[in-house]
Amino acid sequence: MSAPEAFGGFRRPAFEWFTDLEGDNSKRWFEAHRETYERDVRGQLEAMLEELTGDFNGRVKMFRQHRDIRFSKDKSPYKTATYGLIADRPGSDAGLYAQLTAAGLFAGTGYYRLSPDQLERYRERAAGRAGAGLERMLDGLVADGFTLMGDELRTVPRGYPRDHPRAAVLRRRAVAGGRRLKAAKGRGISRDRALAHVRETWRALAPLNRWLDRNVGAAEVEPGR
């Protein structure tokens, strides 16, 4: 499906669609409400990302709504979040992520998955002098209301002392952050609020991406599943 010509915001039907999907996650329900999904949910999210490429460059990539249930105990056929990102950005290996759910609009960025070679470089730099700046940056983001994303180990990785001064950053297996904008009750999220939230979030996280691009860089080996 092609994106709508213009982004108009996320109307109330988009959030009602997610709430109802959570109550009836079935093919029958999804097909009966596909028009709302295509127009108000996926269509508007894709349109927003396409518009933002004018500021941030790159290529929009949308992800499928169907879940991979082959190896999952949960056989619900559809995700209860719709998401996409701006990828292949000149000068950065960090994708710019946006997600729509019943709770609102989430925007984030960073290195959400690290391949083995990236993880090795990350730990080397995080344990050294560059890690002090990263630690201060992450602490500041949390203090400003950002959520940090990515898997963490329970203890520092093998080869590092348990009492390492930067144990917190060494435990991380990926580094990304973001924050959510809640939908106004009964009204949704206007075009201006959505664009401002996403732009401000991505720009606030730009220093984190610069640290990652400088100290970690692109993967030489693709991350595993």
* Enclosing domain of residue 94: 9-215
- The answer to whether 180 touches 103, Cβ cutoff 8 Å, is yes
Q: What is the pTM of this model?
A: 0.91
Q: Name the stretches of the chain with pLDDT < 70.
A: 1-5, 221-225
Does 171 reside within a domain? yes
pLDDT of res. 71: 79
Q: Domain containing 140 — which CATH number?
A: 3.30.930.20
Does 132 reside within a domain? yes
Residue pointed to by tokens 């999804």: 30
pLDDT of res. 117: 96
Does 71 reside within a domain? yes
Does 224 reside within a domain? no
- The answer to whether 202 touches 56, Cβ cutoff 8 Å, is yes
pLDDT of res. 74: 82
pLDDT of res. 225: 42
Q: Which residues touch 143 (CB under 8 Å, ≥6 apart)? A: none
Does 222 reside within a domain? no
**Distance from chain centroid for Cα 152:** 17
Alpha-carbon span 37 to 42, nearest angstrom: 6
- pLDDT, tens digit, 9 for 90 and up, residues 143-162: 999 999 989 999 999 999 99
CA atoms within 13 A on the CB side of 190: 3
Output the CA torsion sign for 142, 146, 152, 157. negative
pLDDT of res. 5: 65
Does 221 reside within a domain? no
Continuous H helices in 57-190: 116-127, 129-143, 167-170
DSSP state of 11: -
- The answer to whether 106 touches 95, Cβ cutoff 8 Å, is no
| Total of domains in the chain | 1
